[in-house]
Amino acid sequence: MRVRVTTRAELFEERKQQHIELGYRIEDEQPTAVNGLCLFIAVQELPDSYPIGELVAQALKGQRLLGE
């Protein structure tokens, strides 16, 4: 699963660390602010046995994914 995270420049490192602690790998960092915002891509490998329908249901309910 890939998540594009856009955040204010002053929160960039904090948000990155939060995602790392949740088991995400960080890719494509853009720490230089454009219009006050920075971004990075957080990637989490999902087990092949994890049903995509369950992911969608959790997302629609606003739940954290994979027991986070």
3-34 pLDDT, tens digit per residue, is 999 999 999 999 999 999 988 999 999 999 99
Q: Is the pTM of this model over 0.75?
A: no
Spatial distance between the Cα atoms of 10 and 44, rounded to a whole number of angstroms:
24
Alpha-carbon distances of 50 from 33, 34, 47, rounded to whole Å: 36, 36, 5
3-state secondary structure of 44: coil
User: What's the one-letter identity of residue 58?
Assistant: Q
The number of domains in the chain is 1
Host domain of residue 56: 2-67
| Beta strands per DSSP E along the chain | 2-8, 25-34, 37-43
Residue 16 CB-half CA count within 13 A: 16
